[in-house]
Homo-oligomer: A and B are copies of this chain.
Amino acid sequence: MAGNSFGQLFRITTFGESHGEAIGVIIDGCPAGLDIDINYIQAELDKRKPGQSKITTQRKESDTVKILSGTFEGKTTGTPIAMMIPNEDQRSKDYSHNVDVFRPSHADYTYQTKYGIRDYRGGGRSSARETAARVAAGGLAKLLLKTAGIEILAHVSSVGKINAPNVIIDDANDFLTAREKNIVRCADPATAEEMINFIDDIRKQGDTVGGKVSCYIKNCPVGLGEPVFDKLHAELGKAMLSINAVHGFEFGSGFTGSEMRGSEHNDIFIKDSDGNIQTRTNFSGGIQGGISNGMPIEFRVAFKPVATIMHNQATIDSQGNSAEISGKGRHDPCVVPRAVPIVEAMAALVIADHWLRNRNAKLA
């Protein structure tokens, strides 16, 4: 129960540290017969990898994924699928200054106290590098969901106090095209430009800034999610909160919903022109009673600013003495552009898991 697995039926277990041999993941429970498109999975990883643009860290790692097991002649076989990403650019010397000093708002102090030992190089296991393994597994989950027409679509909806307007997604490909046209991964071009300039400015100041990622799940069938503890939004919430730097999660009306009245918040059921049941509004965010209701699932994820800044900061060392830490290494001024594929990956893992779980809801 050491917390490195996620999901019940579509279940992943990740391993690896920032500066070890490799990171990777085992996926257990993927049904047999799924066509594996390794290029698709690699493309997902490429959206997360460092060194993509001027507003991401300048570290360089190709993050090339290799499948070690579980497939045969291009298809899954029902056996565990292991994927490995070797670590390449391990400038461990960059971290020698961290050996005995606790970086503010990092996991150094808590890991050291919990375990009595820590791999201080690049944050070790607490590094967001671990999320590459999630993105690889999430790529597989997306391939599974595509067989059912389910699309997971996220973009950067805010950086600092710059907020994008609400997005209405008519076509998944159009949305992705718009998003990938800019390096901040915001589907609204005008806002994207503003965000990029702001992050670049922050970067030049040696500072960092937070932001939000909004995610939409289209064509999710009715019925996914398990009462009472494994409500679909509770599982999505845990998935998102498990991503490094996340400090908040809301779905549908979210925090704003807490200010509303029932008479304005209730989503009235209607029948659309094709005879399908829908709701007029979607304050429920596509989930009612913890179960998907067929409307688009909508949620937002808040990321705090990256803790590593290029300023000198006061701190303490492992003996509790005062110390100073100066910013070194290569880090992101804002994490959200690279967080978009991670949010999508975790969402895909939750939906894939519940898609399988829901197969046993009814007798026939």
Given contacts A8-B1, A33-B116, A248-B255, contact A124 B79 (CB under 8 A): yes
Bound: A207/B263 CA distance, A: 6
Bound: A308/B116 CA distance, A: 49
Given contacts A114-B223, A116-B33, A267-B104, contact A4 B26 (CB under 8 A): yes
Given contacts A1-B226, A228-B130, A304-B260, contact A361 B28 (CB under 8 A): no
Given contacts A4-B79, A275-B320, contact A223 B311 (CB under 8 A): no
Bound: A76/B193 CA distance, A: 46
Closest B residue by C-beta to A104: B266
Q: In the bound complex, do residue B307 and residue A113 qualify as a contact, i.e. CB atoms below 8 Å apart? A: no
Judge if A161 is at the interface, Cβ distance under 8 Å.
yes
Partner of A258, one of B69, B271, B303, B360: B303
24 A–B contacts, CB within 8 A, in A order = A4-B26, A15-B26, A15-B80, A17-B79, A26-B26, A31-B360, A32-B115, A32-B361, A32-B363, A33-B117, A76-B363, A105-B262, A107-B227, A110-B289, A110-B293, A125-B228, A126-B289, A209-B262, A238-B241, A248-B255, A255-B302, A262-B305, A265-B307, A359-B360
Interface footprint category on A = 35 or more
Bound: A322/B270 CA distance, A: 8
Of A39-47, A55-63, A280-288, the segment with at least 4 beta carbons within 8 Å of chain B is A280-288
Partner of A291, one of B24, B31, B114, B241: B114
Which residues, 330 to 364 on A, are CB-close (under 8 Å) to B? 356-364
Q: In the bound complex, do residue A66 and residue B21 qualify as a contact, i.e. CB atoms below 8 Å apart? A: yes
Given contacts A69-B15, A254-B302, A271-B320, contact A2 B247 (CB under 8 A): no
Bound: A136/B8 CA distance, A: 25
Give 1 or 0 for each of A77-112: 1 = CB within 8 Å of chain B CB. 111111010000000000000000010111101110
Of A164-172, A173-181, A182-190, A229-237, the segment with at least 4 beta carbons within 8 Å of chain B is A229-237
Q: In the bound complex, do residue B268 and residue A24 qualify as a contact, i.e. CB atoms below 8 Å apart? A: no
Bound: A53/B304 CA distance, A: 40
Bound: A209/B262 CA distance, A: 6
Q: In the bound complex, do residue B68 and residue A212 qualify as a contact, i.e. CB atoms below 8 Å apart? A: no
Bound: A284/B102 CA distance, A: 15
Closest B residue by C-beta to A123: B289
Task: Please tell me how many copies of the chain the complex holds.
Answer: 4
Give 1 or 0 for each of A289-325: 1 = CB within 8 Å of chain B CB. 1111100000000111111110101111000101000
Q: In the bound complex, do residue B254 and residue A5 qualify as a contact, i.e. CB atoms below 8 Å apart? A: no
Bound: A231/B309 CA distance, A: 24
Bound: A268/B307 CA distance, A: 11
Given contacts A32-B116, A241-B237, A362-B33, contact A110 B4 (CB under 8 A): no
Q: In the bound complex, do residue B257 and residue A114 qualify as a contact, i.e. CB atoms below 8 Å apart? A: no
Judge if A273 is at the interface, Cβ distance under 8 Å.
no
Partner of A22, one of B34, B68, B105, B230: B68
> 19 additional contacts, CB 8 Å, given A3-B28, A229-B238, A231-B242?
A4-B26, A4-B28, A20-B70, A33-B363, A34-B363, A72-B119, A78-B117, A78-B361, A105-B283, A114-B358, A210-B259, A211-B258, A228-B242, A229-B239, A234-B238, A247-B254, A263-B309, A266-B309, A268-B315
Closest B residue by C-beta to A86: B68
